[in-house]
Structure 1
Amino acid sequence: MAVTAPPTESPAESPTGPAATASRSSVRRVVRTLALNLLAVAVGLAAWSLLAAAGVQGLPGPGEVADRAGELIADGTLLDDALASLRRVLLGFALGTLAAVPVGFLMGWYPTARALLEPYVQFFRTIPPLALIPLAVVLLGIGEVPKVVVIFLAAFLSSVVAAFQGVLDVDATLVNAARVLGANDRAIFLRVVVPAAAPFILVGMRIGLGSAWGTLVAAELIAAQEGLGFRMQQAELYYDLPTIFVGLITIGVLGLVMDRLLQLAERRLTRWQERR
């Protein structure tokens, strides 16, 4: 009678193998990060409470701001304002990114396009998008279009340079190796340049998203009737600090969530990249 040996686990499948060790290390890292995030929030709230209790320039405390947020949520004002601002930011940011990526690729891949477009890009980068608000109002009126255009410019100018630099920094050895193997320009562009430039593009998108939110409040100066920036400007007239804080916190939370989503997309799309 033949005796068969019991099946053995490979090191990767073993509960104590390298894969299991890496998985546990990843879980510990995530838990540690979340714990530190919660600690940072707790410390921030404690410092805020102490400053408010000390009476620093009439600073409202977390409780007062939470009560005001509850009132704005109950009557639907906060939701309407958040949705209006989110719609403007998403539209301006999406259009800005969609325009920045091809323009950045053209500038990085074709020297002629770079010579034609780079002076304009660098020129407009020195002009704050907020400075273009009067021009936008005169040319485009006071509707939604000028608000979105100003946010679009902020996102575009922040993203286009990242895409351009990403193409420039593609390792020439990879391009030459692809040519030696018989790849045409289209294959090189899609299989070498785009993946290599992806980390730059995604970082540029994150910077563009921050610029879009940073431009929002000023963009909503243009005859807005709703929006977080509009609500904060109205609260300023009545020295309503709790409402201003509610607007600030809402913008920060929405921006943070969108940034984390982009960061998640970056990790998934650039798994090949070594990370610390």
Structure 2
Amino acid sequence: MNFIQYLLKIGVASWLAAIGIWQLASLTFGKPDFLPGPLDVVHGLMELLADGSWLNFVLVSLRRVLAGWLLGSLWGAPIGLLIGHVKIFRQLIDPYLNFFRFIPSIAFITLFVLWFGIGEESKLILIMYGTSFIVMLNTASGVLALDEEKIRAARSLGASETQIFFHVVIPATIPYIFTGVRLAMGNSFMAIVGAEMIAANEGIGYLIWTSRLYFKTDWVFIGLISLGLMGFFTDKLIRVISAQALGRYGITTENRFGGK
């Protein structure tokens, strides 16, 4: 494998090409306020690094996203298991689930700020709302997709319903849970950006929103790139954890998630 093929394999060549096209487009327009080039964005990043605001905004947004996502996942996965495994519970919850999951979390920003204030509580609850439904649905789908023959085989061996739930249902559902939490992470970033644009004085969403007041389009690009990088690395972390968790069941991340 030569050097160019290696760069293509790890994705560096694609990013270099994108940056080159971006720079050419910026030079074509000739208006940094309309379309800043990569060098303009780097200069803007230096400004934000000088006063420490960029790092602070990234850490604040990342803390909010991870906390809300984790709480939403921890709440959504058990509810999803019950929805899929207990028929009467599924019949009771299904109407609410299929109603509220179509209302985006951003639509609740005004109400959550009114009910819980402009502090961290409203942002965390907003992210939990956007996270939990995806995890619930994927988890319930995993339970319902479980082969009935496995449950019958466990019963025939004398396993109790509790043993079946913990040793058959949950292990078979773990791949679906990890798929749900990965998808929910994207919703978490969408929710926090909306919340920080409206009710925050720090964070990446706040940076993007206030940049318009100073006509700092380069700061907007910095915010967008920061969100992309945060999402990229958190997704990588989830995939590493999922590889460890699923490996014991003979499930690879290549088969389940479409890549290493």
1:230 has 2:230 as partner: no
4+ long deviations beyond 4 Å = 31-34
Query: What amino acid does structure 2 have at the position aligned with 1:43?
Result: A
Q: Which runs of 5+ in 2 are unaligned?
A: 256-260
1:273 has 2:257 as partner: no
1:77 has 2:18 as partner: no
**Worse overlay, 215-224 or 144-153:** 215-224
Q: What's the Cα RMSD here?
A: 1.7
Q: Which runs of 5+ in 1 are unaligned?
A: 1-30
Once residues 35 and 195 of structure 1 are traced to their aligned partners in structure 2, the CA distance between those partners, rounded to angstroms, is 34
Once residues 61 and 20 of structure 2 are traced to their aligned partners in structure 1, the CA distance between those partners, rounded to angstroms, is 29
Once residues 164 and 9 of structure 2 are traced to their aligned partners in structure 1, the CA distance between those partners, rounded to angstroms, is 44
CA contact (8 A) 1:108 1:168 kept: yes
For residue 195 of structure 1, the aligned residue among 158, 171, 179 is: 171
CA contact (8 A) 1:109 1:167 kept: yes
**Aligned residue pair count:** 246
Shift of 1:115: 0.8
Partner of 1:218: 194
Once residues 51 and 174 of structure 1 are traced to their aligned partners in structure 2, the CA distance between those partners, rounded to angstroms, is 58
1:47 has 2:47 as partner: no
CA contact (8 A) 1:174 1:192 kept: yes
CA contact (8 A) 1:154 1:215 kept: yes
CA contact (8 A) 2:113 2:199 kept: no
TM value normalised by structure 1: 0.85
Shift of 1:33: 8.6
Query: What amino acid does structure 2 have at the position aligned with 1:40?
Result: S
Query: What amino acid does structure 2 have at the position aligned with 1:226?
Result: E
SS of the equivalent of 1:54 reads: helix
Shift of 1:200: 0.6
SS of the equivalent of 1:187 reads: helix
Query: What amino acid does structure 2 have at the position aligned with 1:46?
Result: G
CA contact (8 A) 2:72 2:128 kept: yes
Query: What amino acid does structure 2 have at the position aligned with 1:93?
Result: W
1:97 has 2:73 as partner: yes
**Which structure has the larger Rg over C-alpha atoms?**
1
TM value normalised by structure 2: 0.90
Shift of 1:137: 1.7
CA contact (8 A) 1:142 1:222 kept: no
Once residues 116 and 37 of structure 2 are traced to their aligned partners in structure 1, the CA distance between those partners, rounded to angstroms, is 41
Q: Relative to structure 1, is the Cα distance of residues 108 and 34 closer, same or farther in structure 2, using a 3 angstrom cutoff?
A: farther
Query: What amino acid does structure 1 have at the position aligned with 2:97?
Result: V
Once residues 216 and 198 of structure 2 are traced to their aligned partners in structure 1, the CA distance between those partners, rounded to angstroms, is 21
Shift of 1:86: 0.9
Residues 93-148 of structure 1 deviation map (CA, whole Å, 9 limit, x = unaligned): 01100110010000000001101111111110111111111111221122211111
Shift of 1:155: 0.8
